A and B are shown apart, each in its own frame.
Chain A
Amino acid sequence: MIAKSPEITVTGFGITSRMESASGKKLAYGVSAGLDIGNFLVAGASYIMTKPKFDMKTTAGTITITNTVEIEMNTIQVFAGIRF
C-alpha cells in the first residue's frame, strides 16, 4: 500500500503548528468474497490489512520535529461494481 497520512494544522495564541502529510509504503494483504451475477454485476466485501510507516514532520514556528510512526490501516471495504 502506498499511503498518505493526514495533514494536521493547529492554530492558537498566534502560533500555527502544522504536521505535514507523510508518505508510507508497506505490503498489504487482502481477502475478498462476493456475489457475481451473470459475470456482470458484482457485490462484495474485502478485508485489507496493512501497517505503513510514516516519517511525520511537525513544524511550529522555527522548531521542526520528525517522528516515525507505524499506523495500522486495516479496513473493511464493502463495494458494488460492474464487470465489462
Chain B
Amino acid sequence: MRSFKRVVFLMSVFIIICAVPVMGQFSSKHGLMLFGGLSIPAGKFGKTDEEGAGAAKKGWVAGGDYLVSLIPSVGIVVSGRYVHNPMDEQVVKDGFGSTTGMSATVGSFTGILPMPGVQVYMPTTIGIYVNAQAGT
C-alpha cells in the first residue's frame, strides 16, 4: 500500500513536470493567423420576402488576424476580413413574374472588415478562445 502511494506521488510529480512547460509555452499566445471559410447571411440579410431584406446567399470569407498577449490568457487581436456574399438572382427575376424577353444579372455584396478587439483564451495546448471586436 505504501509503495502504491509512492507510485501515485511520483506519477503526479511526473505529470506536473511534463505539464508545466506546455502550460508555459502557451500562456502567451501570439502570431499571425490566416483563415478562410463560409459567410452565412443572418437575419434580414439572408431574407427575400420582408422589408429591408438583403436577399444574400451563402458566400465566403478570407482574412487574417494578429494576436498579441498582454497578460497570460488575455490579448489584443487585430483582424482584417474580406466578405463576399452573392445576391439571389431569383429575387430580381421573380419581380418580373413570367414576363418573357426580360433578363437580369446581379452582383454580390462585398465588405472589408478591419476590426481590433480583445481575446481571452485558455493557456493550454488545445484551448478555447473567445473575442469581441469592433471597427469600420
Contact = CB atoms under 8 A, between A and B. Distances in A.
Given A42-B35, A75-B45, A11 B83 contact: no
B112 A77 contact: no
Contacts of B125: 37-38
Given A6-B109, A11-B103, A27-B136, A77 B38 contact: yes
Interface size on B, as a range, is: 35 or more
B64 to A, nearest CB: 8
B40 A29 contact: no
Chain A interface main SS type: strand
A64 to B, nearest CB: 19
Contacts of A5: 109
Interface string A1-26: 11111111111110000000100011
A35 B127 contact: yes
A21 B85 CA distance: 14
Interface residues of A, number: 50
A73 interface: yes
Contacts of B105: 8-9
B42 A47 contact: yes
A84 B31 contact: yes
Interface of B: 25-26, 29-45, 52, 54, 56, 61, 67, 81, 83, 85-87, 92, 96, 99, 101-113, 115, 117, 121-122, 125-136
Given A35-B128, A72-B52, 14 more contacts: A9-B105, A11-B104, A28-B134, A28-B135, A31-B131, A37-B125, A38-B126, A73-B56, A74-B41, A75-B45, A79-B36, A79-B61, A80-B37, A81-B34
Interface of A: 1-13, 21, 25-39, 42, 44, 47-48, 50, 52, 70-84
